[in-house]
Amino acid sequence: MSEGPNAGQIAYWNDTAGRTWADMQAPLDRQLSPLGLHAISVLAPRPGERILDIGCGAGDTSLQLARSVGESGQVTGVDISRPLLDIARGRSTGQPGVGFVEGDAQTYPFEAASFDAAFSRFGVMFFADPPAAFANIRRALKPGGRLAFLCWRSMAENPILTTPMAAAGHLLPPLPPAEPGAPGPFAFADPERVRGILQAAGFENIALTPHDEKIGGGDLDTSVGLALRIGPLGALVRENMDKRDAVVAAIREEMAKHLGPDGVKLASATWVVTARAP
């Protein structure tokens, strides 16, 4: 698992990022689950189907998919992060029809034409070679097999991600500019790029539908904690610990403005991408 085209991402998701996401699994799932459930409703899994869950992480979406396909179906979650898969396997104990594979979906030798559908909640934007990865996923689908995945639109459209940084940015060094199209959360923000990747991979009937929804990980303390540990802001804080108290105060003040009876919620902007194998 340490070599290959996605070696950098594999190392990242088995070290700092994997451990952090494992630690924050409950609030992260609380924040992202509504978006995943919407995308699952678009996929429309049916009883008895076999579904591949790409970048399954700690297993939240795999378990949701398993409830849709029932005991006669099968969900296989694949991920590169062992810390997250350890949680997924523990959560699925006693749940029939769910299994997990540690592997890179870009290169993993899935059995050809073995899945009715493939799904992902924010798990497909990290491939070094997206057309090759999606071609590998397409080969795993039966003829006419369905693909549905969720990815972020632009960072500027996502207050759930930008608000903490905007609140504390004046206290910290600027982030280095992101390389356009590089693996990362916003790699699929451009709809035409996504269409081109899926067409090159051999998919048909490609559609991107915008979805906007307010989401959140919990109460004020939890939301501040997420902001401080997840994403580039967390890395900046770790590198500038002398500014931490001021950063926490600034984020807390801003997040409090968005606190309601269901906790802190902020707007999110995603694409629900669908396609079919020929």
Does 7-155+183-214+269-276 carry CATH code 2.60.40.10?
no
What pLDDT does 1 receive? 46
**Which residue in 268, 264, 73, 39 sits closest to 161, CA to CA?**
268
Model confidence pLDDT, tens digit, residues 36-58? 999 999 999 999 999 999 999 99
Cα(58)–Cα(112) distance, rounded to whole angstroms? 26
Tokens of 12: 């990242």
CB burial class (10 A; 0-12, 13-18, 19+) of residue 167?
buried
Q: Taking 80 as the threshold, does the pLDDT of residue 184 lie above it? A: yes
Q: What is the mean pLDDT of the chain?
A: 95
User: 234 vs 259, which has greater pLDDT?
Assistant: 259
What pLDDT does 3 receive? 64
Q: Taking 80 as the threshold, does the pLDDT of residue 267 lie above it? A: yes
Q: Taking 90 as the threshold, does the pLDDT of residue 30 lie above it? A: yes
What pLDDT does 232 receive? 78
Average pLDDT over residues 132-143: 98
Percentage with pLDDT > 90 across the chain: 87
Cα(130)–Cα(187) distance, rounded to whole angstroms? 10
Cα(48)–Cα(53) distance, rounded to whole angstroms? 15
Which residues are within 8 A (CB) of 36 and not within 5 positions of it... i.e. 6 or more apart?
60, 61, 64, 121, 150
